[in-house]
Chain A
Amino acid sequence: MLCSIVPPDLLLDLGVDARQLEQASVIRTQRTLLAAAQRSLNLRLTLDEEAPGLLRTIYDAGHGSFGSLPGVKVRGEHDPATTDEAVNDAFDNAGRTYAFYKEIFDRDSMDDRGMELVSSVHFETDHNNAYWNGFQMIYGDGDGEVFLRGCFPKLLDVVAHELTHGVTDFTAGLVYSKQPGALNESFSDVMGALATQYALGQTADQADWLIGKGCFGPAIAGEALRSMKQPGSAHPHDRQPAHMRDYLDLPDDGDPRNDHGGVHLNSGIPNHAFYLAATALGGYAWERAGRIWYVTLTERLGPVSQFDDVVEATVAVAGELYQADSDEQKAVRSAWQQVGLLP
């Protein structure tokens, strides 16, 4: 699985840092390491220690690169807010993401076993990205041109999107390539949107269904990175399709223009299907549509699942949770029909 392989030297580095943490943190970090090793080696290893609950640790990478990760610890779970906005934003939004998963799906962190949420802020200088590297969050500051400074940890949908890559790593394990990769991206967008709607108390009709709203700087001048309501409309360079007739069949050849076979492009299709199902059902999207998608991600998919597999699984899960031919199952089936994945 592409996303889960952690290099051995990285594991060793983390082991050294773990010795500096408090005991509970050490246990959770060890579990994280074992989980990463388990996934990379395809083994079944467990630690019996129970450590449920929220544990966040924020590090300052000091504008260093990979060699400086995770950096200097600047805020732990029981520490007060700091004067660094990026630190506090990363801390708060990791907590909101944890609360969303715990309160809605009874999921205890990314691994459902109380995994410590480790974040490093101020990665490199003017770095235009945020990502989950298999065991921690990494936030650049943005360069102020393409991305506004500090926007990555500030936006809950960005943070929840990235942490959902961790949930996917621990469950379906969707490989980051072509259709499984587009599904990996779509589940992250769906859960990022739902975590935001949950925090704001928004119904499906009240939500804007935008991902990364207000994050672009003057060089892009777009409203958001992606729109689940109208894929392809979020910014001037947005090429996301909303229907299978516009699917972009790109190679996964390492060319940055091809985006691992269009993972951030074709994700527009399942993104739009979720929007259609959620708005057809109305109310809070996390309650019914969100539950169907969550059960599908965590219980029904595998590393190479395709769009058709998700269609079949979501329709089946909707029937199991809410009965056959229920409003929920009809809404899910109709959504896939509207994006061209069901006749």
Chain B
Amino acid sequence: MKVTVVQGGGFGGLVLTTTADTAAMPLDDAIRVREAARGFFDLPAVVGGPGHADQLLTEITVEDDEGKSHTVRFAQDERLGNLAALVRAAGRPGG
């Protein structure tokens, strides 16, 4: 399973990306990613509201082991705990 996280907006207006591949990470981390991605393919393409000024915008794309992929976009929000967990599990986007 591959997870790609793109974050943009925020005070800096930067676009930062990270990709995690469960095949290339320690077993515990891979399990954590798979657990956080549970139910991801059932989510709509856009989740939550538009957010506030300078709030981070996030896009997560998950590609499963059969090559099927799904993308979800959201503004950081308190109701999106599972998606935030997936971002943490995949690793913080860097420059």
Contacts and interface: CB of A to CB of B under 8 A. Distances in A.
B83 to A, nearest CB: 12
Interface string A252-263: 001111111001
Interface of B: 6-16, 46, 49-59, 73-75, 77-78, 81, 84, 92, 94-95
Contacts, number: 114
Contact of A132 (B13, B49, B52, B75): B52
A129 B9 CA distance: 9
B8 A131 contact: no
Given A145-B94, A165-B53, A257-B15, A128 B59 contact: no
A211 to B, nearest CB: 9
B11 A161 contact: yes
Given A132-B52, A132-B54, A254-B46, A162 B11 contact: yes
Contacts of B75: 254
Contacts of B77: 66
Contacts of B49: 5
Among B73, B75, B78, B84, which residue has the most Cβ atoms of chain A within 10 A? Answer: B78
B95 to A, nearest CB: 4
A265 interface: yes
A94 to B, nearest CB: 16
A113 B85 CA distance: 39
B84 A225 contact: no
B78 A67 contact: yes
Contacts of B73: 254-256
B64 to A, nearest CB: 22
Given A146-B94, A254-B73, A259 B9 contact: yes
B57 A146 contact: no
Nearest to A13: B78
Given A129-B54, A256-B57, A146 B14 contact: yes
Given A152-B11, A256-B9, A256-B73, A130 B54 contact: yes
Nearest to A131: B54
A219 interface: yes
Interface residues of A, number: 45
B55 A133 contact: yes
Given A133-B55, A254-B57, A264 B92 contact: no
A165 B51 CA distance: 13
A148 to B, nearest CB: 12
A254 B57 CA distance: 7
Contacts of A254: 46, 50, 57, 73-75
A176 B52 contact: yes
B11 A131 contact: yes
Contacts of A176: 50, 52-53
A255 B59 contact: yes
B94 A130 contact: no
A65 interface: yes
A225 B13 contact: yes
A2 B57 contact: no
B13 A3 contact: no
A129 B11 CA distance: 6
A184 B53 CA distance: 9
B11 A158 contact: yes
A268 to B, nearest CB: 10
Contacts of A245: none
Among A168, A219, A254, A264, which residue has the most Cβ atoms of chain B within 10 A? Answer: A254
12 contacts: A66-B77, A128-B16, A129-B54, A145-B95, A162-B54, A215-B12, A237-B14, A255-B59, A256-B8, A256-B56, A256-B58, A259-B15
A294 interface: no
A143 interface: yes
A220 interface: yes
Nearest to A226: B13
